[in-house]
């Protein structure tokens, strides 16, 4: 059992008879140079950093089809709104193969994706929506001052709220160490967790105030992630966790079997 500070204790996540599952695939949709000063509060005066992947995830549900969680980077870092130019120079995009190239390499047509979920609206996660005209975009109505405000014409967008239960089947309830999880398909197979504050690394001892509007909230989210990581049947994969490049299989191989083995390794 793990616990989050003053919060309720948490146990294993639901894994009941008749439990529905999705298959999950990790896609390495480009890399960026992540300066340490953007991440760690004790590195504000340094020029050090590291090249990190930007992972996106394909989620396959038996009845509900294919969903992409984030789209990674745009190919060669081209085509972003001009407002991102300064940021792009800092983060040095390396993306010879974008998510469409990767999907095509695994014989998944972009037109077969029916849902795209954006974790947040930063350039290294939003990619390019235009190859997915038939997909509904699911996003949070946060970041009112986002540099990324324009979606393609006719883009279907559904904003989700963690504050309200949206009928008929999208139920918000605590899950693991998080207070608000949205049961996306209504069958317990996929939850979106409310993880505010922006968080790059679960092991970060300090979080640089340069990169977080809500530093205290970000720290709390990191605590929740660490608590989730400590749960027996949970495997946490972070969007920029470069160590995972050598540890986990990438699309077109599913993470499913690997995740079961990884959970067993954690238990020792
Ligand atoms: Zn990012």
Q: Confirm if 216 and 238 have CB atoms less than 8 A apart.
A: no
Q: How far is the CA of 108 from the centre of ligand 1 (A)?
A: 25
Q: What is the spatial distance between Cα 8 and Cα 179, in angstroms, rounded to a whole number?
A: 10
Q: What is the spatial distance between Cα 42 and Cα 260, in angstroms, rounded to a whole number?
A: 36
**Can you tell me the mean pLDDT for 86-99?**
94
101-146 tens-digit pLDDT: 999 999 999 999 999 999 988 899 999 999 998 999 998 765 544 5
Q: How far is the CA of 67 from the centre of ligand 1 (A)?
A: 19
Task: Tell me the CATH architecture of domain 2-267.
Answer: 4-Layer Sandwich (3.60)
3-state secondary structure of 6: coil
Exposed, middle or buried by CB within 10 Å (0-12, 13-18, 19+), for 265?
exposed
Collect all residues with Cβ–Cβ distance below 8 Å to 108 and sequence separation of at least 6: 58, 66, 252
Q: What is the sign of the dihedral through the CA atoms of 153, 148, 194 and 24? A: positive
Q: What is the spatial distance between Cα 22 and Cα 266, in angstroms, rounded to a whole number?
A: 21
Question: And the tokens for 123?
Answer: 């350039």
Q: What is the spatial distance between Cα 138 and Cα 239, in angstroms, rounded to a whole number?
A: 18
6-45 tens-digit pLDDT: 555 676 687 778 899 999 999 999 999 988 887 777 777 7
Q: What is the spatial distance between Cα 190 and Cα 193, in angstroms, rounded to a whole number?
A: 10
Q: How far is the CA of 77 from the centre of ligand 1 (A)?
A: 14
40-70 tens-digit pLDDT: 777 777 788 999 999 999 999 999 999 999 9
Q: What is the spatial distance between Cα 249 and Cα 236, in angstroms, rounded to a whole number?
A: 15
pLDDT of 207: 47
Rg, the chain, Cα only:
18
Q: How far is the CA of 17 from the centre of ligand 1 (A)?
A: 36
Q: How far is the CA of 248 from the centre of ligand 1 (A)?
A: 19
Q: How far is the CA of 1 from the centre of ligand 1 (A)?
A: 30
Q: How far is the CA of 72 from the centre of ligand 1 (A)?
A: 9
Q: How far is the CA of 55 from the centre of ligand 1 (A)?
A: 9
3-state DSSP: the chain helix, strand, coil percent, rounded to 5?
A: 25, 25, 50
The CA-based angle 142-148-150, given to 5 degrees, is 105
Domain ranges of the chain: 2-267
């Amino acid at each position: 059992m793990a616990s989050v500070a003053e919060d309720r204790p948490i146990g294993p996540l639901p894994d009941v008879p008749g439990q529905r599952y999705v298959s999950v695939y990790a896609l390495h949709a480009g890399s960026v140079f992540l300066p340490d000063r953007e991440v760690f509060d004790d590195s504000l005066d340094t020029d050090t950093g590291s090249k990190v992947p930007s992972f996106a995830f394909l989620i396959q549900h038996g009845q509900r089809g294919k969903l992409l969680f984030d789209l990674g980077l745009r190919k060669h870092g081209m085509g972003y709104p001009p407002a991102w130019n300064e940021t792009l120079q800092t983060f040095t995009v390396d993306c010879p193969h974008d998510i469409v190239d990767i999907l095509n390499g695994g014989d998944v047509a972009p037109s077969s994706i029916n849902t795209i979920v954006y974790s947040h609206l930063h350039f290294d996660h939003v990619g390019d929506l235009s190859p997915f005209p038939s997909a509904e975009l699911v996003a949070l109505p946060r970041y009112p001052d986002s540099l990324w405000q324009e979606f393609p014409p006719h883009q279907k967008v559904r904003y989700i709220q963690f504050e309200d239960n949206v009928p008929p089947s999208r139920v918000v309830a605590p899950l693991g160490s998080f207070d608000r999880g949205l049961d996306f398909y209504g069958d317990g197979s996929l939850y979106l967790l409310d993880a505010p504050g922006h968080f790059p690394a679960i092991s970060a001892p300090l979080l640089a105030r340069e990169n977080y509007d809500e530093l205290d909230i970000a720290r709390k989210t990191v605590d929740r992630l660490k608590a989730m990581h400590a749960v027996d049947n949970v495997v946490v994969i972070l969007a920029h966790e470069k160590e995972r490049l050598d540890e986990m299989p990438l699309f077109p191989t599913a993470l499913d079997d690997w995740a079961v083995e990884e959970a067993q390794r954690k238990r020792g």
